Structure 1
């Protein structure tokens, strides 16, 4: 399996775009015609994938929207992963699960996501430190995006915390997370990136200055209000800029996939234009 760095390089060279399509098939928002299908979550995601795949640097299916429905939801999550892998093999698959456990537990997660599902990247939480990240990297398959500075308002309760007794350079906890991520990325050769929220573009710029090598996964664009040009100007081209609801829930009718295609194309073209002018 190629590292996150290598697969990003190959896909970005082909697309010259940073669009990552999130797959969050919230049951209440699915078109009624899709709800009548045998595998509604898979069928919805399949049509979104087909409609946007030519523009997608990667896809980010969020397991929460499948887990809610137990084993039947998990089965459809696995079908979605398999479909992307077989039909858009150059796109990066990011499993959005935000796992954050230790030792053998983390190894079991790694075997599920990297061996059984063969995803490229898993999102992980660094709250328990390096010990909760290295089991995925020692597994020698797949890569991780580490939660660093997220879009939600209460993120500041921990991510903006300063340790007065220990000299965390350059200051905030999220900056220490980014620094550790850079160290791990060098140690594990291009297999580590970070999650940075698109609603905080100026702070993305500061993190980028301090960590020029890292790949960023940036949610918060689109439905959450992040400005695309401002995000790209601060993150540079080494980023996966995610849009979920802003692409796949534009219509509740038969034309939902067509609307997704048009929006993905629009974002793709905007990204190419911004990148050509500013990065």
Structure 2
């Protein structure tokens, strides 16, 4: 089953478009709870409401090898019929991207991953080689400094000699790569 099929099935079953973030910020975890127990409680409370779960890799990496183990245990607690979007924001050259793709899809079993497109489409290709998996390109993010780059005007490939914001170009790249319906 592809990511899109799995997502649509979860949306239909749970009548929901809710994607639940699993970002174990130590400041927000109640005293006496460990990361895995906290995440399992969230998953148990939302399994009939969520159409996807989105763990943010940075929170787990900050905890070292223990965090990677906690991430693996968290992913194992997610029902298999609900897709996992690994929020990793990967973006690197081809050889590194291959390692990131293998880690996300083959090792962790994520159904989709967030990626930074700013190294070009060749850096995205390793992720697209995993059939039935999806990628989400960062185009126009919500952080305060996003406009510094994302709103920069670049020459349009669609409306030459017009200019367009860089985030529009990124969205067009996502659309162009979406032949199999697994790029957003």
TM-score (norm 2): 0.92
1:31 pairs with 2:30: yes
1:167 pairs with 2:161: no
Q: Mean Cα displacement is larger for which, 8-17 or 150-159?
A: 8-17
Superposed structure 1 runs of 4+ greater than 2 Å apart: 166-170
Paired position in structure 1 for 2:53: 59
Q: CA deviation at 1:49?
A: 0.5
Paired position in structure 2 for 1:110: 101
Counterpart-to-counterpart distance in 1, 2:29 and 2:12: 34
Paired position in structure 2 for 1:150: 141
Counterpart-to-counterpart distance in 1, 2:173 and 2:46: 34
Q: 1:174-228, CA deviations, whole angstroms, 9 ceiling, x for partnerless residues?
A: 1111111011011xx11111xxxxxxxxxxxxxxxxxxxxxxxxxxxxxxxxxxx
Counterpart-to-counterpart distance in 2, 1:130 and 1:104: 13
Counterpart-to-counterpart distance in 1, 2:135 and 2:28: 29
1:178 pairs with 2:171: yes
- 8 Å contact from structure 1 (residues 12, 18) kept in 2: yes
Counterpart-to-counterpart distance in 2, 1:168 and 1:181: 14
Q: Structure 2: state its 5+ residue gaps.
A: none
Counterpart-to-counterpart distance in 2, 1:136 and 1:16: 29
Counterpart-to-counterpart distance in 2, 1:128 and 1:160: 17
Q: CA RMSD in A?
A: 1.3
1:136 pairs with 2:124: no
Counterpart-to-counterpart distance in 1, 2:139 and 2:52: 20
Counterpart-to-counterpart distance in 2, 1:156 and 1:175: 12
Q: CA deviation at 1:168?
A: 4.1
TM-score (norm 1): 0.62
- 8 Å contact from structure 2 (residues 137, 183) kept in 1: yes
Counterpart-to-counterpart distance in 2, 1:184 and 1:7: 20
Structure number having the greater helix percentage: 1
Paired position in structure 2 for 1:262: none
Alpha-carbon spacing, 1:125–1:158, altered in 2? closer, same or farther (3 Å): same
Q: 2:85 aligns with which of 86, 91, 94?
A: 94
1:77 pairs with 2:68: no
Paired position in structure 1 for 2:37: 43
Q: Structure 1: state its 5+ residue gaps.
A: 35-39, 194-279
State the number of aligned residues. 180
Q: CA deviation at 1:53?
A: 1.0
